[in-house]
Amino acid sequence: MRIIGGAWRRQWLPVPSVGGLRPTADAQRETLFNWLQPQLPGARVLDLYAGTGALGFEAASRGARQVWLVERDARAAAQLEANRERLGATQVHIRCDDVARLLGQPPEGGPFDVVFLDPPFGQGRVAPTLAALAAQGWLSPGARVYAELESEVDPGFVEEGGWAIERERVCGQARGLLLTRSGGEDDP
């Protein structure tokens, strides 16, 4: 995995051989971080289903104040920790935990400004994770959530859940959605 911008630009980070790991493509990440650039400096960022940590490390490289990477697989979490050490990324924290269990409680340290939600495809985790983020106070006012799902999935369910699609991009088999709470519900 390669970091594409910021302080660690062009740094290559090893990726563990873990089944189901699907790093966000460079082109998709570049578009996403162009969208988010105004929100990143000083932001508190949460990368759920972190996998390779591509999104979280990229956010840290581009000025996020604090980044939490949440990954259930112990081997992937160990590689995230090794990558954090390699970069000297003191603002990055790794948590080996189940996302659903974690989001069932209020966030430690307060809400997040940017959340990356890139679960394994085909498991229907986007909708329940979005609901949990809103229900437990995980989002700061005006927070942005980037959700990645299969390109063939109709994203209408996100609007039904109280979210507005701010931006959308389909790249290959992935559909990336930049979301905010709809109807002025920035503070859930």
- Residue 2 covered by a domain: no
- Residue 11 covered by a domain: no
Confidence at residue 157, expressed as pLDDT on a 0 to 100 scale:
87
- Residue 158 covered by a domain: yes
Maximum Cα–Cα distance across the chain = 43
**Cα distance between residue 111 and residue 46, in whole Å:** 9
Residue 18 DSSP SS3: coil
CATH of the domain at 160: 3.40.50.150
Confidence at residue 5, expressed as pLDDT on a 0 to 100 scale:
85
* Tens-level pLDDT at each residue, the chain (188 residues): 888 888 888 888 877 766 666 667 778 889 999 999 999 999 999 999 999 999 999 999 999 999 999 999 999 999 999 999 999 999 999 999 999 999 999 998 999 999 999 998 888 899 999 999 999 899 999 999 999 998 898 888 888 888 999 999 998 888 999 999 875 444 43
Residue carrying structure tokens 């329940």: 128
**For the chain, what is the domain count?**
1
**Cα distance between residue 84 and residue 87, in whole Å:** 5
- Decide if 8 contacts 20 (C-beta within 8 A): no
- Residue 167 covered by a domain: yes
**Cα distance between residue 97 and residue 72, in whole Å:** 5
Confidence at residue 21, expressed as pLDDT on a 0 to 100 scale:
65
Nearest to 23 by CA among 49, 60, 59, 54: 54
- Residue 186 covered by a domain: no
- Residue 13 covered by a domain: no
- Decide if 134 contacts 188 (C-beta within 8 A): yes
Which positions ≥6 away from 121 have C-beta within 8 Å?
Answer: 22, 149, 150, 173
- Residue 19 covered by a domain: no
Domain that holds residue 69: 26-181
Confidence at residue 160, expressed as pLDDT on a 0 to 100 scale:
84
- Residue 8 covered by a domain: no
- Decide if 141 contacts 187 (C-beta within 8 A): yes
